[in-house]
Amino acid sequence: MAAMGRLGFLATAVIFHLVYIYSIFDIYFVSPIVSGMQLVPVHRLANTKSPANRLVLFVGDGLRADKAFQAFPEPYPESEDDLVPRHLAPFLRSRALQHGTFGVSHTRVPTESRPGHVALIAGLYEDVSAVATGWKLNPVNFDSVFNRSHHTWSWGSPDILPMFERGAVPGRVDAHTYDAEFEDFSKDATHLDFWVFDHVKELFTKAATNKTLDRALRQEKVVFFLHLLGLDTTGHSYRPYSKEYLHNLQIVDKGVQEVTDLIQRFYADDRTAFVFTADHGMSDWGSHGDGHPDNTRTPLICWGSGVASPNLYSGTIAPGHDDYSADWGLDHVQRHDVAQADVAALMSHLIGTEYPVNSVGKLPLPYLSANNRQKAEALLLNAREILEMYKVKEQKKQANEMRYKAFGAFSGAELAPSQRVANIDQLISLGKYEEAIEETDALINITLEGLRYLQTYDWLFLRALITVGYLGWIAYAITTVIDLYVIPTSTVPQRSTSSVAGFFSILAALYASFIASKSPPYVLCVCVLPCCLLGRSLCPKVQSV
């Protein structure tokens, strides 16, 4: 009899802990992606053309911000002059100094390639639930800048490109990847970047004799994406301070220059925008994934059509700099930092497409060569897109809650999003563009807080439920041990059937509320365990009256 009791206790322990370990994913790793949003059209932007006809996105996978801008000796010196520190990415540096705008793009944890690229291209901070659904593929079809483009050509790793191809409208994204075996950590990884640059050059060479391809390339709202994995692979193998890593940076800089010159010659219209950044950085140990600053700070350099020229300050340190950038030699150039998801909003604006419907990025206005009216209208368009996502999320939350408590900042007619948007529209119509920008910026921040509120709406209840469950388990474990080994069964306290009936009535009422609020089956399972365990520990046996 005691053996059966021990086996039952062990089975209960296994089931309980499996269910409650899964609760971590159910509470914290729920995807922020929702569907049902309507696209916000872009024709409101003062009836102007898009800032650029096309966009080129370079992503130096695993490139730290400091390594991109600091000076180092020549990695493979051939003379004494090569030992003098110099900037190893002179072309990219020249874009920041003379032609465009630069800053640091701050990433979020986990600092891995997949979530980094999703943030850059979709404007979405994808949660780490992807670890349970497949890291390389796309478990949920999220929207992206590529999907909004007229057409996108992409080259790079088979770990990254397919998820944007499969998540887009069929035929809209061309993904050219090398074989997975090509990523060999035991070899020089620069061949990965050479492969990308060579295939880009091959595409434009074919356009000289292929009229169909030539017409496709000359369409507006096209995107070229170059995923450069060499730096990440080299950093893992040799560390980001090694000569191999720094030499790979030189290869990337030269390749970016060659592709930039090639595209400028091909189109000859100065209507191309260029964005260079990274998905994540890398620690001195050659790793990434956590929130260390070396992993979360990446370079962002933009130039070309629609991008603002650098703001120069002679004789003083320009705004935006801190101790981190003190040794970059860029103190006289204003530095503009952004959140990583903001890059997606920037790219969408530059080519004049709708913002991705799941994007939470805020358009970084300092990067735009536009007047205040255009900036105000573009930022309001950005706010409308984020508000649309908030609206859909709130409707779904209201449908599943018996007593929904609205987000406080949007409570009341005067604070309602529609009224706030109307007020901003009025400010723009009155020519008060700076005020409109300030109000829109505040509205976006509030809406992002509202999205966070909706994402975590049930967290307090679920965490309380888990706490009660563990307390129930502790009580059950203690009373079971006492029943089996300490107190004889005949002396165990008894409870009447009427008390048991009352207990199950409360449980039934609780379940009815869950069913009425359309709670998922998992919540019902998590709820029944603490109730049963507490009930078992408090009334192990029933005595009839």
- CA distance linking residue 401 with residue 393, whole number of Å: 12
Tokens of 109: 């944890």
pTM of the model: 0.89
Q: What is the pLDDT of residues 339-364, one digit of tens each?
A: 999 999 999 999 999 999 999 999 99
For the cut 90, the answer to whether the pLDDT of residue 42 exceeds it is no
pLDDT on residue 483: 72
Domain ranges of the chain: 54-352, 459-543
pLDDT of residue 184: 75
Q: Decide the pairing of beta strands 272-277 and 54-60.
A: parallel
| Cα 282 to Cα 61: distance, rounded to the nearest angstrom | 10
Q: ∠ at Cα 265 (225, 194), nearest 5°?
A: 45
DSSP symbol at 366? G
* Beta pairing partners, 304: 273
Q: How far apart are CA 320 and CA 313, in angstroms?
A: 12
Mean pLDDT over 139-147 rounds to 81
**250 and 87 in contact (C-beta within 8 Å)?**
no
- Domain 54-352 class? alpha beta
- The residue with greater pLDDT, 135 or 71, is 71
- Give the H/E segment covering residue 274: strand 272-277
160-209: per-residue pLDDT in tens? Answer: 999 899 888 999 999 999 998 888 766 779 999 999 999 999 999 999 99
Q: How far is the C-alpha of 243 from the C-alpha of 258, rounded, in Å? A: 23
Is the pLDDT reported for residue 488 higher than 60? no
Whole-angstrom distance, CA of residue 412 vs CA of residue 391: 15
